[in-house]
């Protein structure tokens, strides 16, 4: 990541999905190789004043990562990083027992982060009606291969 930051002018998007290491590891096994704590530490060292933006992607799962405790910790760990948080609805897939947070929780989470100095948006979801939203196409392909 350090080389990427030093050699490109691209915006950086980091998939976070939980501010707690043990929860992030369950959601994203890559946490083991690239702990969020190390990523955040590196981001704090970098100068982002030259047009570049850092975004944190955060899929909202009902009852899993959408509590006040999570919002408070997000504010704590992102303190000092000029960034944007994109809250993303989870798109239900047949093989997962997860569901997305309701609109009220997403708005609360967004407002809490925003009121604590973190620019936060709720990403508009597109393509869910035709099973083409983020993450759904690969799931559909896996389902097709099981049928064949």
Q: b/e map of 97-134 (b: 16 or more CB within 10 Å)?
A: eeebbeeebbebbbebbeeeebebebeeeeeeeeeebb
State the residue for tokens 């064949």. 148
H-run or E-run covering 144: helix 136-147
pLDDT top residue among 117 and 144: 117
Q: Which range of residues forms the domain containing residue 83? A: 2-147
Query: In three state form, how does the secondary structure of 91-115 look?
Result: CCCCCCCCCECCHHHHHHHHHHHHH
Q: Per-residue pLDDT tens for 66-94? A: 999 999 999 999 999 999 999 999 988 77
The number of domains in the chain is: 1
Q: Per-residue pLDDT tens for 95-114? A: 888 999 999 999 999 999 99
CATH number at residue 20: 3.20.20.70
């Amino acid at each position: 990541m350090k080389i990427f930051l030093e050699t490109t002018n691209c915006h950086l998007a980091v998939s976070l999905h939980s501010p707690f290491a043990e929860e992030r590891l369950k959601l994203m096994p890559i946490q083991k190789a690239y702990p969020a704590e190390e990523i955040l530490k590196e981001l704090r060292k970098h100068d982002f004043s030259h047009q570049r933006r850092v975004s944190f992607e955060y899929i909202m799962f009902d009852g899993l990562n959408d509590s006040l405790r999570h919002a408070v910790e997000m504010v704590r760990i992102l303190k000092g990083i000029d960034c944007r948080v994109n809250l993303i609805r989870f798109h239900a897939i047949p093989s997962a027992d997860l569901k997305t947070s309701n609109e009220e929780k997403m708005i609360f989470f967004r407002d809490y982060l925003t009121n604590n100095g973190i620019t936060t948006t709720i990403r508009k979801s597109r393509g869910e009606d035709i099973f083409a939203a983020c993450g759904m196409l690969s799931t559909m392909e896996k389902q097709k291969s099981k049928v064949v």
